[in-house]
Amino acid sequence: SQQGEEDPQALSIQEGENATMNCSYKTSINNLQWYRQNSGRGLVHLILIRSNEREKHSGRLRVTLDTSKKSSSLLITASRAADTASYFCATATGTYKYIFGTGTRLKVLA
């Protein structure tokens, strides 16, 4: 069964705005990763945050992790039309068996 629930399910914003997606999970984790998927394509790894980390940055991406609330957020700043994609969080519980969240479909309007 899926471990992560993401919210919102769909998000539509204007180019230049920030996009925030949230992920909640159910059990203890070793790490949490965010992935991006363009329609009909495979997944691209964006960022990994370990359970002892609280925040991580990569370019225009900022990820936070709150293990007490079992939640993570992905912030994309200054969004571009090319950021239009589905974004998934994935959690690992020690065996590198990753369980994916329900995903957020982001549409950035030019």
Residues at the contact surface with other proteins, assessed by CB under 8 A: 1-2, 33, 35, 40-45, 88, 95-103, 105
Q: Output the CA–CA distances (angstroms, integers) from residue 30 to 15, 45, 49, 75, 90, in the order listed.
A: 34, 17, 9, 21, 11
Least distance in angstroms from the C-beta of 31 to other proteins? 9
Tokens of 25: 């999970």
Least distance in angstroms from the C-beta of 27 to other proteins? 15
User: By C-beta, is 24 or 77 nearer to other proteins?
Assistant: 24
User: By C-beta, is 42 or 68 nearer to other proteins?
Assistant: 42
Least distance in angstroms from the C-beta of 50 to other proteins? 11
Return d(Cα 44, Cα 1) in angstroms, integer.
Answer: 22
Return d(Cα 62, Cα 65) in angstroms, integer.
Answer: 10
